[in-house]
Structure formats: structure tokens, C-alpha cells
Amino acid sequence: MSNMIEHHEIPGPEAYVDSAPVGSPWGNGSRREFLKLAAAGAASLGLTTTMSGCVIAAAGTRKLDFRDDFGILNFAYALETLESRFYAKVVASPPADLRSGELQILKDIGDHEKAHARFLKRSLQVLRVEVPMSVWPGIDFTRRQGVLTAARNFEDLGVAGYNGAGTRLRLAEFLTIAGKIVSVEARHAAVIRDLLNPNSRDFAGDDVVDANGLDRVLEPGEVLAQAQKYFAEPYRAVGL
Amino acid sequence: MPTTDFLEPKRLLPADPEIAARLARRQAEIDGGATTSASTRAGLMMGGAAIATAALAHDVFAQGGLPDIVVDVLNFALTLEHLEAEFYVRGVGTAGLIPGDMRAPFDQIRKHEVAHVAFLQGVLGSRAVAKPTFDFSGGAGSNNGPFADVFRNAQTFAAVAQTFEDTGVRAYKGQAANLMGHDDVLRAALRIHSVEARHAAQVRRMRGQKGWITGSMPGNLPDAAAASYKGESNKFQFILGQPDSNTQAQTEAFDETLTKGQVLAIVKPFIVGGM
């Protein structure tokens, strides 16, 4: 399939009158601003956007171009989708040795990852790169230890990845939204780490936080190299 | 045991290797005759690692001079880190205050906040603001505010810790865009931001709360803390899509920003003489 046509439903104002956040760059009119940004990004990639919100995108490619914001957001979309699928698989068939309260935590985190993935999917619109099917080499879904260890590493990888990608973003709105997501990923990482070693220093352990009190940071290429094996088809990275 | 490439987190050297490498390169440049400040040379000559690191950090981050907006953001951050660092140093140092199962987590948080103060002071150099005098009761100097038993009651101590951490996350997030274009500073700020979020989650769980913020619920904190959670119920992220039926998860999934003014209003009662 070389082309596909997608219809994106844009909600009416009632869908978001709830609260334009105080102090957020997503003020009133942001929808218009965002669409303008998305259209500009699409134009820069030689794609076309129609006024009706009906867009035509090149599909079937797995290229992530890290030279622009949309490549980075697609990368985030891939990782959030991966996480979302991981937790969905865990929740669908949880390990028998999970302890009290742990399944609810994993459900909550899965809901958050799903919300992140859906947000990015809808935001990227025409510029979205489809995420390949997921595979799970080396993860033992039948044991608490296997699930929590994998969860910890997905969350830590996400935190380090967002921290490493932040300086590549050129639009302030995208940096802020990435910030809104990464701190929740960090909360996840801390909680999973505390489940693995309760009441210890591990929630923000010396293995991830350095002597200056700074969290681990990874360049997008390093994150992609570690995440690649969980995708049935590899991504091709450009502009790293 | 399952194995995946990142199952073994990369163990960092005592000093971050990225920063260490930058510092080493800068030291080599200085050794090669590059100009630097007297304080950096003094730090290097004294061989005092902490002094040299702080001085070099300033030297590396501030080459060419930091613009005023960046200095303002960093001093805002430094003020919050001073608040947190002194709070945890006092709390952890108060005999009998913190129960055994909370000691290791709170001591780890103390360690990080003290490190953040030193790091930001190093970056700011002579432009770093002085540490204010604090009133952790939230009484603006009366020492008889809503958290008057903060160093006598572990629950109060943990409650104040939660407001500081959740507020700190929102404060850094709100300033990130002001640091764009200054990659070294922005990256460091982002890395502090996620550490504060780890702290927040741990403190919340030690208080019996979820690690994340649901709606704008203060999570069993007194009314005095409500401002720290205002706006967290935002679902505006979904402007381009249909809101998910699980609105609770939507609000939990995105932490929200606070402006500098909002944060200063929140911490004002903890600072003697205001700001």
C-alpha cells in the first residue's frame, strides 16, 4: 500500500472547553495554531492537506527523520504505542504471582500509555508513521519479576529518551507537551521500581540518577537501538 | 531470567559521563591555554573536586554568558531547590521524625535536592541568588502556619514534601520553553524535572496516594495545598481527538504546567519576608 486516505474527526468546541490550562501555551485558539503547525510540517514534507481534514499520507514507510519535530513525535508515538501494547498484554493475562494492588497499578499505567499514544496519533495526523507490530523477545509475561522488570526498563528508557530528545524540538508547544508526558513516565518508573524493591532508594536509584541529581539521558539513536527489537519491522532513522 | 538489552540499566559513574567528558574537554582546553575564570583555575589548582566541578560547570555552561531570561529561570529553580534541600536536610536530620520505612527514600531525595542546589549554583556562578530564610510551617515567618508540626509529625512532613515535589515538577515544566536554544541548560533542567517527578511519585505512595495526580485532587492534603493541583484536571491535550471515556486516566496521563507567578504564590508562605 503506497497511499492511504484518512478521515480525522475534529471535535467541536464542547470537547475541550473543560479547561484551557492556566499557564499552558495551549491557550484558546491552540487548535487553530496546532493545525497550522501540522499543515506547515506537512507542507515541508511535500504532503497535502485538504480543508475538510481529509489528508493524504505516504504510508508503509518506517522512516523517522530526527531533523524535525514531527520525526521526534513519531518516535515518541512508536514508544508510547509499544508501552501501551505491553501493558495491554500484561493486563489481559496477568502473572499469577502479582501481589495485592499491583494489577491496578499496571492497569493505570497502561491507561496512561494508551492516552499518550492516542494523543500523539491524533496530533500527528497526516505525518503519522504507522507503528509496526510488536514482538516481545526475552520478556517473561508469566512471572511478576519478568513483567515488572520489563516495565521498569520500558519506563526508564522512555524517561531517558524524552530527556534526550527535548533539545531537538523546535516548537515550544511540543517541548511543553513532551514535558507533560515525561514526568508521568518518571512517576511510572519510580512506582515500578518501588514495587521491585519497596521503601528503598531505587525509585530514583543511583543507577539512573547521577551525582549531580540528574536523570539518565539517551540520544534518540541509542533509544531506538534498544527498542528496535520489539518491532516486527525495523525503523530507519534519518538525521541522528 | 529474561534478558533484554536495557534490562541492565547503564550504571553511571559518580559524575555523569557526558558532563564529565565535557568538563574534561574544557579542562584540556584550559590546560592548552584557553582563557577561563580565576575561580575555575583556582578550583583546578586546589584539586578540590567539588569546587572544580562547580567552577567548571559554570565555565562550560556559561561560555559567552547566559542571557538574563535563562539566569532568571535558573535562579527561580535554585530558590525552589534551596527550599527542598533545606527541608529534607532538616527533616532527615531530626531524630525520631521519619519512620524506618521512609528513611531511605527521604534520604535519597535529600541527596538529590542538595546536589541540585550545588549544580545550579555551579552553573550560575556569581549570579546565583542567595538562599532565603524558610518557614516550613507555611507561616511566612511566624513558624505557626498550617504545617506547624512539620518537624514533629511524619505525616505532616510527608504532606509538605508531596506539595513541594508535585509543585516542583509543574514549575520546571512551565519554564522549559524559556530555555529553548540553550541546549546544555535545557537538557539539565529536563533531567532535574524527571527526578522531581520520581520523588513526587514516591512521596505520594508513602502517603497512601497513587503515584500520579488524578484530576485536580490534592490527595488528602489540607486546603492550603490546593493551589499546587489547580489545573491538573486539564483534558485539553485531547483537543485534536475525541476525549477518551476514561477521563480519570486522561488527567493522570499528563502533568500540567504552572507559571512562575503561580509557583511563587504557592511557596510564598514558606519564605520569611516573602519574595
Does B202 sit within 8 Å of A194, measured CB to CB? yes
CB A72 within 8 A of CB A66: yes
Which segment of A154-168, B74-88, B216-230 scores lowest on mean pLDDT?
B216-230
In angstroms, the CA A69 to CA A75 distance is 10
pLDDT-derived band at A52, boundaries 50, 70, 90 = very low
Tell whether ipTM is more than 0.90. Answer: no
Cell 511563587 appears where?
A: B264
- Residue ranges of alpha helices (H) inside A93-219 are 102-124, 144-165, 172-196
Is B12 in contact with A213 (Cβ distance < 8 A)?
Answer: no
User: Is the confidence at residue A2, as pLDDT, over 70?
Assistant: no
Helices (H), B178-269: 183-206, 247-253, 260-267
Adjacent-strand bridge partners of A54: A7
CATH architecture of A2-238: Up-down Bundle (1.20)
Q: Which residues of B63-98 are buried (b: 16+ CB within 10 A; e: fewer)?
A: eeebeeebbbbbbbbbbbbbbbbbbbebbbeeeebb
CB A84 within 8 A of CB A111: no
Mutant choice from B8, B237, B238 vs A, greatest count of A C-beta within 10 A: B237
B chain contacts of residue A207, beta-carbon cutoff 8 Å = 9-12
Average pLDDT over residues A140-149: 98
Residue B140 has pLDDT above 50, yes or no: yes
Element (H, E) at A167: none
Model pLDDT for residues A190-235, shown as the tens digit of each residue:
999 999 999 999 999 999 999 999 999 999 999 999 999 999 999 9
Per-domain boundaries in chain A: 2-238
Q: Which of B84, B239, B242 to mutate to test the interface with A (most CBs of A within 10 A)?
A: B239
Instruction: Supply B137's cell numbers.
Output: 510551617
> CA-CA distance, A157 to A175, in Å (whole number)?
18
Q: What is the pLDDT of residue A50?
A: 34
Question: CA angle at residue A219 from A216 to A223, to 5 degrees?
Answer: 85
3-state secondary structure of B201: helix
Q: How far apart are CA A138 and CA B128, in angstroms?
A: 49
Q: Which H or E run contains B25?
A: helix B17-31
Give tens-digit pLDDT for B171-189. 999 999 999 999 999 999 9
Q: What is the pLDDT of residue B32?
A: 59
Confidence at B70, pLDDT banded by 50, 70, 90: very high
Contact yes or no for B167/B267 (Cβ under 8 A): yes
For B112, the closest of A112, A199, A209 (CB atoms) is A209
Question: Measured between CA atoms, how close is B142 to chain A, in angstroms?
Answer: 31
Average the pLDDT over A170-192 and give the result. Answer: 96
Which of B4, B188, B243 shows the shortest C-beta gap to A15?
B243
